[in-house]
Structure 1
Amino acid sequence: MIDVDLVLVGGGGAASLVLAALDREGATGLRVAVVDPVHKRGQDRTWAFWGTPGTFLDPLLSRAWDAVDVVTAAGRRTLPLHPLRYAMLRSAPLYELAGAAEQRMGAVRVTAVAGAVDDDGERVVVSGPDGAPLVRAAWALDSRPRGPVRPGRTEWLQHFRGWWLEADRPVFDAGRAVLMDFRTPQPARGVSFGYVLPVSDRFALVEYTEFSPAVLTGDAYDAALRGYCGLLGLDLDTLRVREVEDGIIPMTDGVFEARPSPRVVRLGTAGGATRPSTGFTFTAMVRQAGRIAGEVAAGRPPLPGAAYPARHRWMDAVQLRALDRGLVDGVAFFGRLFDRNPPERVLRFLDGTTSWREDLALMSTSPLVPMMRAAAGDAFVRTTRAVELPFT
């Protein structure tokens, strides 16, 4: 059995960011192991996020934009993002960066499926599915997907399919990213939108996304994408689908157990990094990784802290309830949010970095009566369930 200081259970995006952050902090002498049945390489997913330029991610990006478009039936609005930018990162460069960090730190990779993670308060033992011990560590960072420890009052999903489309001639505007295009047919219960991230004038990710309680069939996603490509004026007979990306991300006010035992910390969605109101996760994972590495470098336990402020989790719960109960129209809600606030404020709110004053300003631009009804209903349900409040 391998004995280390820190074991990463799962080797995807969250673990890759931690490895890169530890390397940047110069974590020499730290004994690290990674347990994952697959050594992640290549392009298996795409992250889109906003943030300030000038970070370690800059050399890894496929593309970045200083402005994005939001489109409704009423027209197209271009949102300037300064001092932020919207960026696209494909997985291969991040996996390569993490691999180089592993080598410099002398990390041990255990290519196996992880089973139980047992914590006796002094050490953690990661076992295989058969119960045989694989790694013993002082701390474990577990990024394997898992649901909330307590179900939410609203259970929605962000689910999507994207096509990487390639053309022989220029058909995309590489300088224009579409953040949300609400001209797609809206589901009976939920919100749908299209999404365009052009890497060049001949290669782009075109995606169909829904915020709703249930996923679609594969044929339904393909039909929705064909319809959205038609709205964009793209002739699919002249384009090639080079790659397909699918995803399902929880949008719930359920409680994720970020620290299930004294020496086990969960990362990514399992650790609460997914924003309930939108499904966005990547920026919170970057923050988690940076905080962990900073704590380790200072000789403290690798604890990242809460991914989002408690008041933001409450605001997300209210928003989800309002959408789920049909108290607000989803397209109108998001359109109003961008129409009545500086884009940079909205995006920072979705990242969980706005102040109390900015949060109040955002709340004042939402439809107050429906949102007050949603807040009252949320409070009533939590009270009648007589459970510990998750937002304290």
Structure 2
Amino acid sequence: MPESDVVIVGAGAAGLSLAYRLCDPAAAGGPVSVVLVDAPPGPLRPPPRTWCFWEAPGGEYDAVLTASWDRLRVRGADGGAALGEPAPLRYKMLRSDDFGTLVGRRLDTADRFRAVEATVDSVRDVPGGGEVRGRDASGAEVTLRARWVFDSRPPARMPPARTTLLQHFMGWFVRTERPVFDPGTADLMDFRTPQPAHGLSFGYVLPLGPRTALVEYTEFSRTVLDTAGYERALGRYTGEILGIAPFRVTAAERGVIPMTDGRFPGRTGRSVFPIGTAGGATRPSTGYTFAAVQRQSRAVAARLLSGRSPRTPAPHGARSRAMDAVLLRALDSGRVDGAEFFSGLFRTVPAERLLRFLDGRSLLYEDLLIGLRTPVGPMLRTVAELPFLPRRPLSPQPSRSPAPGRGTAPGTDQDTPRTDQEEATS
């Protein structure tokens, strides 16, 4: 017999968000019994990371935000800047430790909540529900059974896809000796970085004050760099392009986000459901994850708290996924110049509309208008080609370690990563 209503595997953005909503004392129908499984302290536990997302002021996490911005800037390869004010939206930055503290205050007072530290080896269906097996820090076996299991671990293999790129990055939190940053403006993409032979690269600057900021180097490509490669790229960007020296690095983060048109399953058993990146929350064309995780956790919790069977709805609509597939293929094939594509969109589309588009919240006519501001010929050739491309199985992800999400993304819970840019770092 199930020992609890729900077991959640992974205490990253997806796992914590779902636990937070299921343990809401004001929820209609009352809270359900929840067990949250997290890895013991050590290499399997995610390091501190940053998630970013956009929404109007007054959000439920505003009290623990690290910073937010009402002006966004994108610089083209020639240095030309597009500055947008996406009101009523703001770009928000949330550190995972602060988010965990907020969620922990609710979980600590929840009568029907229990936390378990264990390294999970298997998740499977059993009669009457699902079963999670693992080992605690001493090596003793741990077995948990529940009516429903939600698994946020990254998949061992990505789903078959026509196109898969990796969004990979390294970021430094820097403190300069003189004021060099504008705390009111976030640089989402700075394409003055040297562009790789395949894919694209850009800098990313989130000022926390006149002398402090998160500065990242990001690539969209098929393979990741080694640590020395990221450090060289960040050294050139901070020194030759931003000119912010002298400074010291107070912390660093690094991550990899899959950008794929593969189809993530909504469930992996009668009683087992993937969530977070494993449940398709990462936006394929941008890597943003965190906002979609919030939509997904709200939907799952609403069904469970009302006594209905859960399901994990697709965090991104069919139209958004189709457009993402076209863009990924166009970038991967080299038909479009990624730096010019993104900087051109920010130059010609109002910032608020473009952010809604990137979050899959724009209307059909707005999508069509934005489409006319892209390289129409190459995009149409890609649309015609996609139906004939096979979906191929992919190799395992470069690393099972969760990365900071921008997001994630940003933007995971392993939820995969980034300063989960997410509207959503990563």
Q: Which residue of 1 aligns with 2:237?
A: 228
Q: Which residue of 2 aligns with 1:205?
A: 214
Determine the C-alpha separation between the residues in 2 that align with 1:168 and 1:145: 40
Q: Which of 303, 312, 323 is the equivalent residue of 1:295? A: 303
After superposition, the CA RMSD in angstroms is: 2.4
Determine the C-alpha separation between the residues in 2 that align with 1:298 and 1:231: 57
Aligned-pair distance for 1:235?
4.3
Q: Which residue of 1 aligns with 2:359?
A: 351
1:334 aligns with 2:342: yes
Aligned-pair distance for 1:29?
4.5
Q: Which residue of 2 aligns with 1:99?
A: 104
Give the number of the structure whose residues are more often helix, by fraction: 1
Q: Which residue of 1 aligns with 2:279?
A: 271
Determine the C-alpha separation between the residues in 2 that align with 1:133 and 1:215: 35
**C-alpha contact 1:116 1:131 (8 A) present in aligned 2:** no
Q: TM-score, normalised by structure 1?
A: 0.92
Change in 2 beyond 3 A, CA 1:121/1:276: farther
Deviation string 1:90-131 (CA, Å, 9 cap, x unpaired) is 111110122122212231111101121111363111111699
Q: Which residue of 1 aligns with 2:121?
A: 115
Q: Which residue of 1 aligns with 2:33?
A: 31
Secondary structure of residue in 2 paired with 1:178: strand
Equivalence map 1:250-261=2 (5 Å): 250-261=258-269
Determine the C-alpha separation between the residues in 2 that align with 1:261 and 1:43: 30
Report the residue type matching 1:75 in the other structure.
Answer: G
Secondary structure of residue in 2 paired with 1:348: helix
Q: Which residue of 2 aligns with 1:51?
A: 55
Secondary structure of residue in 2 paired with 1:335: helix
Secondary structure of residue in 2 paired with 1:44: coil
Q: Which residue of 2 aligns with 1:15?
A: 15
Q: Which of 270, 280, 293 is the equivalent residue of 1:262? A: 270
Q: Which has the higher contact order (CA 8 A, sep 6+)?
A: 2
Aligned-pair distance for 1:171?
2.6
Q: Which residue of 2 aligns with 1:193?
A: 202
Deviation string 1:185-239 (CA, Å, 9 cap, x unpaired) is 0000011000101111121100000111110111110111011112444344x31
1:65 aligns with 2:69: yes
Moved more, 196-205 or 33-42: 33-42
Q: Which of 205, 213, 216 is the equivalent residue of 2:225? A: 216
Report the residue type matching 2:238 in the other structure.
Answer: C
Report the residue type matching 2:71 in the other structure.
Answer: A
Determine the C-alpha separation between the residues in 1 that align with 2:298 and 2:41: 22
Change in 2 beyond 3 A, CA 1:111/1:42: closer
**C-alpha contact 1:20 1:97 (8 A) present in aligned 2:** no
Moved more, 102-111 or 323-332: 102-111
Determine the C-alpha separation between the residues in 2 that align with 1:324 and 1:88: 29
Which residues of structure 1 form unaligned runs of 5+? 386-392
**C-alpha contact 1:121 1:263 (8 A) present in aligned 2:** no
Secondary structure of residue in 1 paired with 2:311: coil
Deviation string 1:142-169 (CA, Å, 9 cap, x unpaired) is 1011155532111200000000001344
Equivalence map 1:309-328=2 (5 Å): 309-328=317-336
**C-alpha contact 2:166 2:220 (8 A) present in aligned 1:** yes
Determine the C-alpha separation between the residues in 1 that align with 2:292 and 2:69: 20
Q: Which residue of 2 aligns with 1:85?
A: 90
**C-alpha contact 2:22 2:32 (8 A) present in aligned 1:** no
Deviation string 1:253-294 (CA, Å, 9 cap, x unpaired) is 112223111211111110000111111111101111121222
Aligned-pair distance for 1:350?
1.4
Secondary structure of residue in 2 paired with 1:115: strand
**C-alpha contact 2:266 2:311 (8 A) present in aligned 1:** no
Kindly, what percent of the aligned residue pairs are identical? 45
Deviation string 1:322-360 (CA, Å, 9 cap, x unpaired) is 111111111111122222322212211211222222222
Q: Which residue of 2 aligns with 1:154?
A: 163
Aligned-pair distance for 1:24?
3.8
Which residues of structure 2 form unaligned runs of 5+? 394-426
Moved more, 269-278 or 352-361: 352-361
Secondary structure of residue in 2 paired with 1:320: helix
Q: Which residue of 1 aligns with 2:407?
A: none
Secondary structure of residue in 2 paired with 1:86: strand
Determine the C-alpha separation between the residues in 1 that align with 2:47 and 2:278: 23
**C-alpha contact 2:12 2:46 (8 A) present in aligned 1:** no
Change in 2 beyond 3 A, CA 1:147/1:53: farther
**C-alpha contact 2:162 2:392 (8 A) present in aligned 1:** no
Deviation string 1:65-110 (CA, Å, 9 cap, x unpaired) is 1111111114112111111111111111110122122212231111
Report the residue type matching 2:69 in the other structure.
Answer: W
